Amino acid sequence: MRILLVEDDAALAEALVAALLRRGFAIDHARNADEAEAYLSALRHAIVLLDLGLPDDDGLAVLGRLRRAGNACPVIVLTARGTVDARIAGLHAGADDYLVKPFDVDELHARILAVLRRQAGYIGRSMRCGALAFDSETRVAHVGDDRLTLSARETELLELLLRRAGNVVAKRLVEDQLFGVDGELGSNAVEVYVHRLRKRLDDGGSGVRIETVRGVGYLLRAA
């Protein structure tokens, strides 16, 4: 599950990225409004963690543009603005939750999961295809009672393909989701992870297959 963190405080951002990575999330970090909007236009994120005091724009303005563009991606505001009026302004601007600094990372994690549970249009906790079941909250895949052992990137790839099961996922989107817009990767890095995931699904009797659509991308469907 990919999160966009928009935070200009380098020390806080570094601590949050490390803490969220340990909890199984993939993180993109934007240091200002321009970087945030570049990420939002290029990638689909499960949730945005948005600071309001950005160096080049107010976070509420970024949130307003996001909502006016029709982007319903969940947003949790992270800010030092703790007055009641500030909270109300943030929620009216389109935030799904509002957390005042300083905060405990465990509370932030719990709020992320709570917001995602409410986003029924974006995420259902359990996704199924063939005999495969994937819990998007625990990020664990099962075939019957047997758990599939997957690496972090194999899990990210499976979730991406499952969300678009029956539809082609462009290779470029896979690259961006697995490695980030600026990630360095070899020419066949995506193919390596697709091959590994395909083998794990086959060996686990999942009843699904990953098809390669030459020159376009990949498609997951029930076998």
pLDDT at 82: 85
Whether residues 140 and 111 share a domain: the answer is no
Whether residues 108 and 32 share a domain: the answer is yes
Query: The domain spanning residue 192 has which CATH number?
Result: 1.10.10.10
The percentage of the chain sitting over the pLDDT mark of 90, rounded to a whole number, equals 50
| pLDDT tens column, 81-107 | 889 998 899 898 999 999 999 999 989
Boundary (domain end) residue, out of 118, 143, 166:
118
**Contact criterion met (CB below 8 Å) for 23 and 48:** no
pLDDT at 146: 92
Residue type, 38: A
Q: Are strands 47-51 and 2-6 parallel, antiparallel or unpaired?
A: parallel
Q: Is 106 helix (H, G, I), strand (E, B) or coil?
A: helix
Whether residues 50 and 97 share a domain: the answer is yes
Whether residues 114 and 13 share a domain: the answer is yes
Tokens of 136: 């998007």
Whether residues 33 and 72 share a domain: the answer is yes
Whether residues 113 and 51 share a domain: the answer is yes
Work out how many domains the chain is built from and give that number: 2
Containing structural domain, residue 198:
126-222
Whether residues 103 and 131 share a domain: the answer is no
**Mean pLDDT across the stretch 147-171?**
88
* Lowest-pLDDT range of 51-55, 72-76, 171-175: 171-175
Is 70 exceeded by the pLDDT of residue 120?
Answer: no
Boundary (domain end) residue, out of 60, 91, 118:
118
Binning pLDDT at 50, 70 and 90, where does residue 125 land?
low
Whether residues 54 and 110 share a domain: the answer is yes
Binning pLDDT at 50, 70 and 90, where does residue 219 land?
very high
Whether residues 15 and 114 share a domain: the answer is yes
pLDDT at 171: 86
| pLDDT tens column, 164-178 | 888 888 888 788 777
Query: The domain spanning residue 85 has which CATH number?
Result: 3.40.50.2300
Binning pLDDT at 50, 70 and 90, where does residue 8 land?
very high
Boundary (domain end) residue, out of 118, 151, 184:
118
**Mean pLDDT across the stretch 43-57?**
91
**Mean pLDDT across the stretch 115-141?**
75
**Mean pLDDT across the stretch 177-206?**
81
What does the alpha-carbon distance between residue 43 and residue 171 come to, in Å, rounded to a whole number?
Answer: 13
Whether residues 112 and 150 share a domain: the answer is no
Alpha helices in 27-181 (DSSP H): 33-42, 59-68, 84-92, 105-118, 152-163, 171-179
